[in-house]
Amino acid sequence: MINRLNIKIRSWLSNNQWSIIIRPFDGGTLIEIQDPNFRLANPVELYLDIIIKMFSEYKHLVLCQKIDEEQWVIGIREQFFTQLQRRYKLSTTLLEDFTSLHPPQETTSTYIFELYGDPRREWLQEVYHIGGFNLPNILYGFNAVPDNLLVEAANANSIFMEWYRLKEPDNELTKIFEYMNILAWTSDAHLWFCIPQSRSLENLIDFVTDLAHKYSLSPNIQWIS
């Protein structure tokens, strides 16, 4: 009892609240992991821990990362991407938008960098960024590799963007599960997951609780029906 009270007082004093909102809908579950309020630190490391945990059940991962070279200095574009391909054996492509299949113009500094590989932290931490845009990235996890991954990722992105722009209800997101097994994205510095209803949340909650201890946070898990 005293110990609990002590933890509560300490978390209140240090303002280490960390909110996680879980919202089930017909066919799936939405999980919003907010950026913790701890000493203005960068939450990327924390987010990568959760992404690796959530995607570890799947063999493959596609990351669609929006890049603005004027905000994020990557040096020479070709050199950066070639190094990533060689070092981590990734398939990469550049697209002009999330829903496009066309390459960006040579002169533009803003484009989508799409990577396909196994879910590993080593390469994700070099590319995964959360700032610069309100929707900087979308991630998909899957086991069976489709015939044309690029087209299916663009289809899934189109469905997602319609929902994200408030044009479609939540249950439209379940169409993505025809192509992919799990969907994640970062929006306004919050990490989101959309998982099928069949997937259990117990592992995630246990993991998040442990992670909160690691980062000295006080988790606040809310269920919204």
Partner 1 sequence: MSPPLISSKGFSPSSVETPVSALKLLMQLAPSAASFAPTNPKSLPSPYPTPAKAPPRKESISRSWVSSNPLPPLPPDVINVLGWLQKNVNVIWRHPPEFVKGMFIQGRRVIQVDDPHQGANFWHINTDLKILKGINHKNIEPLVTKFVAIKTSIDVACKGLGQFARSSTVMMLERIPMPILVVPSTGPNWPKQKSTIQ
- Compute the CA torsion angle 69, 65, 84, 60 (nearest 10 deg): 180
Q: Which one of 4-12, 49-57, 91-99, 188-196 is the stretch in contact with partner 1 (CB under 8 A)? A: 188-196
* 50 binding partner 1? (CB under 8 A): no
CB 31 within 8 A of CB 195: yes
Minimum distance from CB of 50 to partner 1 (Å)? 16
Q: Which run of H or of E encompasses 223?
A: strand 218-223
Residue ranges in 5-34 that form contacts with partner 1 under rule CB under 8 A: 32
User: In the complex with partner 1, which residue's Cβ is closer, 49 or 68?
Assistant: 68
User: In the complex with partner 1, which residue's Cβ is closer, 47 or 60?
Assistant: 47
In the list 55, 142, 164, 177, the residue contacting partner 1 (rule: CB under 8 A) is: 164
Please work out the total of residues on this chain that contact partner 1, with binding judged by CB under 8 A.
Answer: 27
- Listed in sequence order, the residues at least 6 apart from 71 whose beta carbon sits closer than 8 Å to its beta carbon are 131, 132
CB 161 within 8 A of CB 134: no
- Listed in sequence order, the residues at least 6 apart from 203 whose beta carbon sits closer than 8 Å to its beta carbon are none
Tell me, residue by residue from 56 to 75, as one string, x for binding to partner 1 by CB under 8 A and - for no binding: ------------x-xxxx--
The one-letter amino acid code at 83 reads Q
Which sign does the torsion angle of CA 168, 171, 173, 177 carry?
Answer: negative
Residue 71: how many other CB atoms lie within 10 Å: 12
Minimum distance from CB of 207 to partner 1 (Å)? 22
Edge-first strand listing for the sheet containing 28-33: 91-95, 110-117, 60-68, 137-142, 182-187, 190-196, 28-33, 17-25, 218-223
CA distances to 43, 53, 164, 188 from 134, rounded to whole Å, are: 16, 24, 11, 5
Minimum distance from CB of 128 to partner 1 (Å)? 9
* 45 binding partner 1? (CB under 8 A): no
In the list 22, 44, 124, 212, the residue contacting partner 1 (rule: CB under 8 A) is: 44
User: In the complex with partner 1, which residue's Cβ is closer, 5 or 40?
Assistant: 40
Q: Which one of 10-18, 80-88, 91-99, 189-197 is the stretch in contact with partner 1 (CB under 8 A)? A: 189-197
Residue ranges in 73-132 that form contacts with partner 1 under rule CB under 8 A: 73, 129-132
* 136 binding partner 1? (CB under 8 A): yes
* 189 binding partner 1? (CB under 8 A): yes
Least Cα distance to 29 among 199, 190, 206, 208 occurs for 199
For partner 1, the binding residues (CB under 8 A) are 32, 40, 42-44, 68, 70-73, 129-136, 163-166, 187-190, 192
